[in-house]
Amino acid sequence: MSATPDRTPPVEEGRFRLHKFQQPIGEEVYQIRGTASGLEARMDFRFQDRGQEVSLSAEFAADPSLNALHFRADGTTARSVEVHVAVDARERELRLRNRDCETSVPRPERFFPTVGYAPIAQQMLLVRYWLGHGSPPELPTYPAGRVRIALRGQDRVRLGDRTERLDRVSVEGLIWGRESLWFDRDRSLVAAVTIDAELDHFEAVRQGAESALGTFIGLAGADGMASLGDTRDRVSSSATGLLAFVHCTVIDGTGAGARPGATVVVRDDRILQVGPGPEVPVPRGATVVEGRGRALLPGLWDMHAHFQQVEWGPIYLAAGVTTVRDCGNELEFLTAVRDAISSGRGIGPRILAAGVVDGSGPSAVGIARVDTEEQAVDWVDRYRAAGFQQIKVYSSLSKTALTAVVRAAHRRGLTVTGHIPMAVSPREAVEAGQDQINHIGFVASMMLPSLGPEAPRSERLAAMARLDVRSADAREAVEFLRRHGTVVDPTLALQELYTISSAHPVERFEPGAAKLPPELAARFLNPGPDTADTRQFAEIFRRQVELVGELHRAGIVLVAGTDQAVPGHSLHREVELYVEAGMTPVEAIRAASAVPARVMGLGADVGTIEPGKRADLILVRGNPLAQIRDLRNVERVLTGGRLYEAADLWRSVGFTP
């Protein structure tokens, strides 16, 4: 395409308002012009996310039937995701560029070039191509991937002063999971509800339709609920009734050692008996599950989840996670998913929720703004009425707002977790009443008293890389947290991902990355070069692992959480890292089962394998007490009175078991 400015009048142009967690953060502008060979489109996609600029430019050329001639996209689609791709169509081949890699492939009869969820206008052109070429069940995309597109129905949506009937379309394959898009009668895209490259909620709405954003999110959630039901029909599961696990090694989560040759009897969703095989007879009529060579454990907990799309449900269960604490989400979406699962209409773990609040500012997240005491009370009441257990505080809260949130939450029986707001120190946050801290980095910063929040990022990273976790400052900080009973979810598995480079690929420590669907694998399996930055992050990470060990030995309560990271697999990695930090396998497993159950006030009902407790159980091949990585070998999952095959759960959302 020519770099000379094109003065041909556009045949179509438009503007999409971009949102993250419903918060407007930027826009995409596109223009389509006629050419002698067909058409050309130019797209400019840009936004600000938590103070960082994200921008992508793209161009597309096609014949009058939208058969692609050329496509190029350069820039970023998220804060840490760079894109540099090109597709050029020849008579018999496609020439492809992805970063520095250039290849060619035979030209298929039907294909379309694109690079994920952005730019939004390219998705619009993709659906137009699909509609104009016979709506095939699958369509190859280049430089990589395949998409599945389906017409899901029509919705009447109020757009400003008029109501329009819009076609609802689902697209699978550009992101992991399903997107929902709405088109008017002219095949113009009106809205897209999707997930960005950080696996966060992301929405695009055409200029003039912004008032309907909440409606589109609700419709996407309802469509997702229907797909949850479809997924459940595709996996092997059965209502348990009376069930007996026999000849298994029980790791009960109480802190006791393994009990080989045990029998556990369950009726529906309750544990009836636990004991040595000779002492616990199998009841007449019970379904028997053979456990030789396997261990039976309590269902795992992920205490830092972000259940951003319905596909997370089967993935959590496949990994043996039967309870998650969602640490920040769109209220309407999360409550719909939670309620569908609890009522048996969906598939997934039990969801506990921490409703996110943030203050105003350029780094703010979401739409739950708290700058005053009245706003604090309003949002706490709103989350409590929706059945949330906690409030999650975020980075832009002022000290006054943080105090107001804590006061309102504690008065209503909710605890407070989250980041340390930039306006306060970790000590000030804990003294204000913040009960829990997300991410080990905030704890590490307590041990660098000479470094204030205004210090440049480069200075802070250099100091973190030199951190002595046994220094006097470090010991004093640990004692401070112990006195205040502060709970920490370290998210080490997330921090480890910052160390990835060509010299330290993800496969070296996370085998689950090789089992991801292509849309996710690309984020992890093509690392950049080994640089001073990645080596610095590796040193910081090493000291963070040491710090977790120091916290544990000092009696600080630690709960396992992932903040997504490598979906499904990172909770296992989190537990492995706790063992590397100095925990015993029993202690590390308890950090992902009994301890979070107690922290969330549910220890009397769940978290251990004991008679009378809820039957959230996982059967794994091997013995994690002898070899902690055996925790990855989940074969069966029992929760909500249903027994699932883990391999079928993995496959149902595109993963390799």
Is position 401 within any domain?
no
**Tell me, what DSSP letter sits at residue 470?**
T
Is position 19 within any domain?
yes
pLDDT digits (tens, 9 = 90+) for 15-38: 999 999 999 999 999 999 999 999
Domain that holds residue 22: 10-211
* DSSP conformation letters of 544-581: HHHHHHHHHHTT-EE----SSSSTTTHHHHHHHHHHHH
Which of 563, 583, 603 finishes a domain? 583
Is position 135 within any domain?
yes
Which of 211, 244, 278 finishes a domain? 211
Tell me the average pLDDT across 432-447.
97
d(Cα 333, Cα 67) in Å, to the nearest integer? 37
Is position 289 within any domain?
no
**Tell me, what DSSP letter sits at residue 506?**
G
User: Which 3 state secondary structure label does DSSP give 639?
Assistant: strand
Nearest CA to 23 out of 486, 276, 368 is that of 368
Q: Is 60 exceeded by the pLDDT of residue 4?
A: no
Is position 46 within any domain?
yes
pLDDT digits (tens, 9 = 90+) for 333-380: 899 889 988 988 888 999 999 999 999 998 899 999 999 999 999 999
Is position 656 within any domain?
no
**Domain count of the fold of the chain:** 2
pLDDT digits (tens, 9 = 90+) for 509-554: 999 999 999 888 877 877 888 999 999 999 999 999 999 999 999 9
Locate tokens 């995409």: which residue? 28
Residue 597, CA distances (Å) to 482, 569, 593 in order: 20, 21, 6
Is position 435 within any domain?
no
Q: Is 50 exceeded by the pLDDT of residue 71?
A: yes
Residue 605, CA distances (Å) to 15, 40, 263, 276 in order: 52, 61, 20, 23
pLDDT digits (tens, 9 = 90+) for 193-245: 999 988 899 999 999 999 999 899 888 887 877 776 666 666 767 767 899 99
Is position 598 within any domain?
no
Amino acid 520: pLDDT: 87
Which of 157, 192, 211 finishes a domain? 211
pTM: 0.91
Amino acid 228: pLDDT: 65
